[in-house]
């Protein structure tokens, strides 16, 4: 097991459009090891998704996993409000994402490349992703809620887009201040509290 260094915002690799993988590359030791190392790195962080640019490789490769253990401190109501359900480990290669609804959901999210920060990011509630898995098999994922958010976040990374490009900028907070001031508040309450004061 090898843990990879996760690059932080400001690294140019996070602003590049990642190169698609040739399916023949998936069988190489280099890519197999990269997938294993990305999985281990994501779990150690811990995070629910990791895109190859985040470990300095400009490749269209993503790993995702949202295991039940990560939900242990959340109430059933919180999980339901986020439409968050367990997602088993999987790999997406060369994903193509399409938005499947006009519904937009705003929620606080973080990023392993924005270590120590959270921000409200509006995302489509439902998306469809066509991709290949690590074996070169075609996969289609149709996702709603939190999983749809993860997919949009990770596919954004492959296009040089990071969460601050889509955030409601006045909601940016350190993780510590998120816990202290915002975690128990609804989104509209947060928006109201941080709104630009009338001059």
Which residues form the interface with Zn ion (CB under 5 A)? 111
Burial class of 192 by CB neighbour count within 10 A (0 to 12, 13 to 18, 19+): exposed
Shortest distance in whole angstroms from residue 188 CB to Zn ion = 25
CB 161 within 8 A of CB 80: no
Examine the residue annotation and report whether 154 is marked as an active-site residue of this protein.
yes
Tally DSSP H helices, then E strands, for the chain: 5, 8
If the CB atoms of residues 89 and 189 are measured against Zn ion, the closer one turns out to be 89
Question: Among 154, 168, 189, 198, which one carries the catalytic annotation?
Answer: 154
* Closest residue by beta carbon to Zn ion: 111
Shortest distance in whole angstroms from residue 16 CB to Zn ion = 15
If the CB atoms of residues 7 and 25 are measured against Zn ion, the closer one turns out to be 7
CB 120 within 8 A of CB 108: yes
Which of 20, 10, 3, 22 minimizes the C-alpha distance to 158? 20
Shortest distance in whole angstroms from residue 39 CB to Zn ion = 16
If the CB atoms of residues 111 and 143 are measured against Zn ion, the closer one turns out to be 111
CB 143 within 8 A of CB 125: no
Q: Which residues are catalytic?
A: 154
């Amino acid at each position: 097991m090898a843990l990879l260094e996760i690059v932080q915002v400001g690294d140019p690799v996070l602003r590049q459009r990642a190169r698609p993988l040739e399916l023949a590359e998936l069988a190489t030791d280099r890519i197999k090891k990269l997938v294993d190392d990305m999985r281990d790195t994501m779990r150690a962080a811990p995070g629910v998704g990791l895109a190859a640019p985040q470990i300095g490789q400009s490749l269209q490769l993503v790993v995702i996993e949202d295991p039940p253990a990560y939900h242990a401190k959340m109430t059933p109501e919180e999980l339901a409000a986020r439409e968050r359900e367990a997602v088993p480990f999987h790999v997406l290669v060369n994903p193509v994402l399409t938005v499947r609804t006009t519904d937009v959901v705003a929620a606080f999210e973080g990023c392993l490349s924005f270590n120590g920060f959270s921000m409200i990011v509006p995302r489509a509630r439902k998306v469809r992703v066509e991709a290949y898995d690590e074996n070169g098999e075609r996969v289609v994922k149709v996702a709603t809620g939190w999983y749809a958010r993860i997919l949009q976040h990770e596919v954004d990374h492959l296009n040089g887009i990071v969460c601050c490009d889509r955030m409601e900028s006045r909601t940016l907070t350190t993780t510590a201040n998120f816990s202290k001031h915002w975690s128990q508040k609804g989104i509209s309450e947060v928006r109201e509290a941080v709104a630009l004061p009338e001059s």
